[in-house]
Chain A
């Protein structure tokens, strides 16, 4: 009897997230969690500070995940994860403890606890799903909001006029064993990096770009298309910093002009040609720098 051909699976098959989560249609943050749990497996505990996932995880008495979740206060993801890990260790229990925070809870209000946990090299995985603003509270800017983007607190007449904070370098400067970027548009890459992180002891930081149709003013079905363009235009490069050594995972054969990325989202619609050129200049500069850093060997 011939074996029936089944659908191909390029990522682990088991689901740890139940359908029916209340994320917006096309939410990169929800998708990223689905992928992350496939990568890490069932022996994982998730710590969620205030962010979209505080809601996506489901109201009491429901839970969207098969594994334990600890909801915590906004600035405490890394501290709470450290405490849970210590509690488990002293009781002789093992689990992967993953802090799952938004950009606000990582770049801004959560940075103090995160820096401290990284300095202590706490044995946790910290994933920042970055939708580039305080989306859960209605699209206010964070230090992860890119230059020029509209948010409710960076209105069209005064869009964000500071560059996106370089969280990867900040984390790598703590001399932690592993930092990586990924996007929700690169599922195999994100899964691979988390699988790799799982085998490393110490603080592991993964920065995943998560599409937000609501905040970015983009069609929900472009959940993967937009982050792919972010990588192909070098706006958001895919790279790792492992023990202080940079490694770029994807060098686009044809580096697309940034306008290809910017035009997919309403939050950039107001940009003048001059502003787009400025962004192109900054992206090019940062990309050149990144290429140079890759050649320097151990930096941190």
Chain B
């Protein structure tokens, strides 16, 4: 999960004091992933604005950080032009 490697007690700070901002790769929580239809996008920025986890990168067009995207579907729900669709990623056995 993180690059921090503590080996013994004496490697630790005096209490649970953070030493890294690298978080869990929550991308593997997904059941569905956002699929972007660029042709419908009007660059309104709403998807970027509403992502609860800052997984959308603001630019010319949105880019998703799939390492962390949990597939919550908020971006798809809020997109005024239906430019984002949630696609089931689950594999049926």
Contact = CB atoms under 8 A, between A and B. Distances in A.
Direct A–B contact in the complex, CB atoms closer than 8 angstroms: yes
Interface of A: 4-11, 13, 15, 17-23, 25-28, 30-31, 34, 58, 60-66, 69, 187, 219-225
B18 A58 contact: yes
A50 B60 CA distance: 40
Contact of B62 (A7, A19, A23, A65): A7
A62 B26 CA distance: 14
Contact of A20 (B16, B19, B61, B68): B68
Interface string B14-46: 001111111111100100000000000001110
Interface residues of B, number: 44
Contacts of A10: 45, 49
B65 A19 contact: yes
B2 A6 contact: no
Given A4-B60, A8-B45, A61 B18 contact: yes
B11 to A, nearest CB: 10
B88 to A, nearest CB: 14
A22 B25 CA distance: 9
Nearest to B69: A19
Contact of A63 (B18, B25, B51, B74): B18
Given A18-B23, A61-B6, A221-B73, A28 B52 contact: yes
Given A6-B60, A62-B18, A64-B21, A221 B77 contact: yes
B4 A61 contact: yes
5 contacts: A7-B59, A7-B60, A23-B53, A25-B72, A27-B52
A18 B17 CA distance: 17
A13 B58 contact: yes
Interface in B64-87: 65, 67-74, 76-78, 86
Nearest to B2: A62
Given A18-B23, A19-B55, A61-B2, A221 B72 contact: yes
